[in-house]
Chain A
Amino acid sequence: MRNIRRFLPALAALSLCAVALFAGTSDAKKSTRAKVTNFSGTDLSGHRVTLGGLEGKVVVVNFWATWCAPCLQELPFLQRFYDKYKDDGLVVLAVSTDGPETASRVRTVVKQRKFTMPVIHDVSGELLSQLNPRGNNPYTLFIDRHGQKAFAHEGYSSGDEKKYLKVIKALLHEK
């Protein structure tokens, strides 16, 4: 009990620290969004992809895994958005987080579903640690044309794609 008394104030301070420091500083307004780190990866076609190289584009980064049922339900929607809006400046990056035991399934899933959006297999978990620190699947990050985080969503429930579409349309209309 003596120990917990000593640590309670510090723990409370730690948990409130984020709120106290950052609340209100990175809302949906374009002028106050936080920059996203300039990540890079190689897609399954062997092309290097960097956020810096996508400047001026709206970028959706989706973390998924072959064994994750909600991810496999969500990905076709993202592919549809990519097909419809890529000429308007939308890029969808599907980042597979599969580990060694399911790594062999990644290309199969992509080929079968005829995904044409860039798919990155994050073999070492580097992108996961940079962009998705809780490590959950699915996790979707929306980045505006200036490389700033506009919206992030963990999990997928049927109907979430409508919210995604609204966010994408709004970001595409921004200059």
Chain B
Amino acid sequence: MPTARRGCPGAWLLGCALFGLGGSSVRADDDVHLSVTNTSSVEYRTDNLNSNDADDNYGAIFDRMNIQGGAGPVDATARIDGFGFLWPPDDGYVSQIRLERAALRYKLGDFTLEVGDFYEQFGRGFVLSIRKQQEAGVDISIFGAKASYRSQAHTVTLFAGRANTANTDAISRRFVADKRDLLAGGLYQLTATPRLKTGVYGLYNQPEERLIDESLDFTVNGGAYIDASTLADWFGVYLEVAAQERSLAGDFQPGSALYLQTETRVWDFTLFTEGMLLNQFEQKGSRNTALGSRFNYNRPPTLERIDQEVLNNRNTVGGRVRLEYFYLPLNLLIYGNVMLRLNDYLDPAQVVQFHGFGGMSMQYNGGASRIAIASGYRHEQQPAQPIPIKTIVHLDVDYLQALGWDFALHLVTQTWFRTLEGRRYLFGSTFLGIERAGLGGLTFELGYDTFDPSPDVRNVFYALILNAEINRHFTFRGTAGTQRGGIKCIAGVCREFPAFSGVQAQLISRF
């Protein structure tokens, strides 16, 4: 296992171009500009009692420097990642400094040419969705070239490149090997009126890894959408269809996708409906060496809440209905949501998923305080089986009370009473914090996951989180204790946190 990598030569070449562009001038001088966002982190992880010794008792130093600069019509970005591990449990943790992202962008009127790392999504992401997904801990770009033309009426995008994953997994901290999966495609969108957009797209995906050496694996995709989300002041509709042909080990497998969404507004009520069919539809790349699973290059809608676990979003049919009442003077929202999905719907072992929930949110004290409460029930079952695979009764509360002098008390709880194949357990987190605008916040976090009662598995998690805005350039974050993994919002910032046991100090600087 190599211990140091420095990225591909092309990326370093682009990085050098960026520094050359900035040169010695780092401040506003005519059109030349350069800005830096740097995140430095030092941490030590103790045994998180998850029955896995391979993520315990090691230290780590991370640094991520984002550099953005430009001059006139040329704009450039680069990201340098540095990782150093002390006492790593195994060879999966690799100390390295790497130019992880580099891009040059040239704009001439309605035309843009990009070389290096870029992101792209077609429609609602059925065929392709490669975008920054910090909240999901996913970090993939396309390294290649993209040309686009955007006018009021027409958008044309053409690109080709290789998938470029960040080489240290954000969650597990493990090394991820580069896989040179080929992605090439294009999109044309016609904006006939501001209320009606239509688009067509196509994509070719060829993973570097093959199922068998003798045969090339690839996927050819095409799709179209009609976006009339503001067709009328009271009504909107969005429709997307896509088809794909996958060649795996010489066998051809067709796939298809259909998605329809409507929104109807009457007085202060909004009725939202969504229906989706995914028939063996997926966009897989090579294997992620940190996770063992294959990279996903699409990300279709799920019909689910954003914090919901979605096990199968490739062969499913379902829909959801959501009714909302919104009263503007109070920013009061009352809603109910019902979702039904059938996973592997043509299989006798299909899984029926039902989720009904409702809640309210409002702001008061002139917008300084807020409260949001939601609760619901989820049920997943194979019809032929006597007991459900999973049930969840959930309670979610987000309560922020302004106390005066810019202080606020903040209570957040996401608590799930769950069963998994008949076994009952409690899962979730509760945060209680005090925040002050312009200064930061101190939060106590209590996490719980009682699924595995084994003595060597942690069921209760405690952590203290300090967030301090030192000045306009520097922010400090410190965490000590143990944390359950998942999406969490702390001191006003929402993002994905890994499961954690130990101490971490982070300094964010912006210039």
Interface residues of A (CB under 8 A from B): 1, 3-4, 6-8, 10-11, 14-15, 17-19, 21-23, 25-26, 28, 31-38, 40, 42, 44-48, 65, 67-70, 72-73, 76-77, 97, 99-104, 107-108, 111-114, 123-126, 128-130, 133-138, 146, 148-149, 151-152, 154-163
Task: Judge whether A156 and B63 touch: CB under 8 Å.
Answer: no
Task: Judge whether B121 and A100 touch: CB under 8 Å.
Answer: yes
Flag B252-290 by CB within 8 Å of A: 1 or 0 each: 000000000101010000101010000000000000000
**B40: interface (CB < 8 Å):** yes
List 15 A-B residue pairs with CB atoms under 8 Å apart, sorted by A's residue number: A4-B84, A7-B82, A14-B63, A17-B65, A21-B26, A37-B75, A48-B152, A99-B131, A107-B236, A107-B263, A123-B121, A134-B66, A138-B492, A152-B472, A163-B437
Q: Which residue from chain A places its CB closest to the CB of B152 in the assembled complex? A: A48
From residue A6, how far is it (CB to closest CB) to chain B in Å? Answer: 8
Task: Judge whether A4 and B134 touch: CB under 8 Å.
Answer: no
- Name, among A21, A125, A128, A161, the residue most crowded by chain B CB atoms within 10 Å (CB to CB): A125
Task: Judge whether A133 and B230 touch: CB under 8 Å.
Answer: no
Task: Judge whether A155 and B86 touch: CB under 8 Å.
Answer: no
- Name, among B38, B191, B195, the residue most crowded by chain A CB atoms within 10 Å (CB to CB): B38
**Across the interface, which residues of A come within 8 angstroms of B70, CB to CB?**
35, 37-38
In angstroms, Cα B270 to Cα A70, docked, is 23
From residue A132, how far is it (CB to closest CB) to chain B in Å? Answer: 9
Task: Judge whether B82 and A35 touch: CB under 8 Å.
Answer: no
Task: Judge whether A128 and B132 touch: CB under 8 Å.
Answer: yes
Flag B330-356 by CB within 8 Å of A: 1 or 0 each: 010100000000000000000000000
For the A-B complex with A21-B36, A100-B121, A113-B331 known, give 18 more contacts whose Cβ atoms are closer than 8 Å: A3-B85, A7-B4, A15-B507, A35-B28, A40-B150, A46-B191, A69-B372, A72-B361, A73-B367, A100-B301, A107-B236, A125-B131, A134-B66, A155-B491, A158-B408, A159-B436, A160-B437, A162-B437
Flag B59-99 by CB within 8 Å of A: 1 or 0 each: 00101011010100101010110111111000000011100
- Name, among A17, A44, A123, the residue most crowded by chain B CB atoms within 10 Å (CB to CB): A123
Task: Judge whether B33 and A136 touch: CB under 8 Å.
Answer: no
**Across the interface, which residues of A come within 8 angstroms of B208, CB to CB?**
none
**Across the interface, which residues of A come within 8 angstroms of B317, CB to CB?**
none
Task: Judge whether A100 and B299 touch: CB under 8 Å.
Answer: yes
**B402: interface (CB < 8 Å):** yes
From residue B137, how far is it (CB to closest CB) to chain A in Å? Answer: 11
Given contacts A18-B509, A32-B28, A130-B68, contact A73 B400 (CB under 8 A): yes
In angstroms, Cα B73 to Cα A160, docked, is 35
Task: Judge whether A157 and B36 touch: CB under 8 Å.
Answer: no
In angstroms, Cα B473 to Cα A149, docked, is 12
- Name, among B97, B402, B494, the residue most crowded by chain A CB atoms within 10 Å (CB to CB): B494
Task: Judge whether A25 and B82 touch: CB under 8 Å.
Answer: no
- Name, among A15, A67, A158, A162, the residue most crowded by chain B CB atoms within 10 Å (CB to CB): A158
Task: Judge whether A68 and B274 touch: CB under 8 Å.
Answer: no
Q: CB within 8 A of B107: which of A8, A21, A38, A137?
A: A38
Which residues of B184-231 are within 8 A (CB) of A?
Answer: 191, 193-195, 197, 229-230
Task: Judge whether B489 and A68 touch: CB under 8 Å.
Answer: yes
Interface residues of B (CB under 8 A from A): 3-4, 26-28, 31-40, 61, 63, 65-66, 68, 70, 73, 75, 77, 79-80, 82-87, 95-97, 107, 118-121, 124-126, 129, 131-135, 150-152, 191, 193-195, 197, 229-230, 236, 238, 261, 263, 265, 270, 272, 274, 299-302, 304, 306, 324, 326, 328, 331, 333, 361, 363, 367-370, 372, 398, 400, 402, 406-408, 435-438, 441, 467, 472-473, 475, 489, 491-495, 507-511
Task: Judge whether A3 and B95 touch: CB under 8 Å.
Answer: yes
**Across the interface, which residues of A come within 8 angstroms of B31, CB to CB?**
35
- Name, among A100, A124, A130, A157, the residue most crowded by chain B CB atoms within 10 Å (CB to CB): A157
Task: Judge whether B324 and A158 touch: CB under 8 Å.
Answer: no
**Across the interface, which residues of A come within 8 angstroms of B472, CB to CB?**
28, 151-152
Q: CB within 8 A of B435: which of A33, A135, A158?
A: A158
Task: Judge whether B438 and A159 touch: CB under 8 Å.
Answer: yes
Given contacts A26-B511, A125-B119, contact A108 B272 (CB under 8 A): yes
Task: Judge whether B270 and A112 touch: CB under 8 Å.
Answer: yes
Judged by DSSP, the binding face of A is mixed
Task: Judge whether A155 and B63 touch: CB under 8 Å.
Answer: no
Task: Judge whether A11 and B68 touch: CB under 8 Å.
Answer: no
Q: Which residue from chain B places its CB closest to the CB of A42 in the assembled complex? A: B150
Q: Which residue from chain A places its CB closest to the CB of B195 in the assembled complex? A: A46
Given contacts A107-B230, A158-B400, contact A152 B134 (CB under 8 A): no
Task: Judge whether B124 and A4 touch: CB under 8 Å.
Answer: no
In angstroms, Cα B306 to Cα A83, docked, is 32
Task: Judge whether A149 and B437 touch: CB under 8 Å.
Answer: no
Task: Judge whether B65 and A18 touch: CB under 8 Å.
Answer: yes
Q: Which residue from chain B places its CB closest to the CB of A16 in the assembled complex? A: B40
Given contacts A3-B4, A37-B68, contact A25 B27 (CB under 8 A): yes
Task: Judge whether A18 and B493 touch: CB under 8 Å.
Answer: no
Q: Which residue from chain B places its CB closest to the CB of A2 in the assembled complex? A: B3
**Across the interface, which residues of B come within 8 angstroms of A101, CB to CB?**
299, 301-302, 304, 306
In angstroms, Cα B274 to Cα A10, docked, is 51
Task: Judge whether A73 and B370 touch: CB under 8 Å.
Answer: yes
From residue A107, how far is it (CB to closest CB) to chain B in Å? Answer: 5
**Across the interface, which residues of B come within 8 angstroms of A33, CB to CB?**
27-28
Q: Which residue from chain B places its CB closest to the CB of A139 in the assembled complex? A: B493
**Across the interface, which residues of A come within 8 angstroms of B77, CB to CB?**
129-130, 133
Task: Judge whether B75 and A159 touch: CB under 8 Å.
Answer: no
Task: Judge whether B75 and A100 touch: CB under 8 Å.
Answer: no
Task: Judge whether B119 and A32 touch: CB under 8 Å.
Answer: no
Task: Judge whether A158 and B68 touch: CB under 8 Å.
Answer: no
Task: Judge whether A157 and B95 touch: CB under 8 Å.
Answer: no
Task: Judge whether B299 and A99 touch: CB under 8 Å.
Answer: yes
**Across the interface, which residues of A come within 8 angstroms of B229, CB to CB?**
107
Q: CB within 8 A of A154: which of B66, B299, B493?
A: B493
From residue B293, how far is it (CB to closest CB) to chain A in Å? Answer: 19
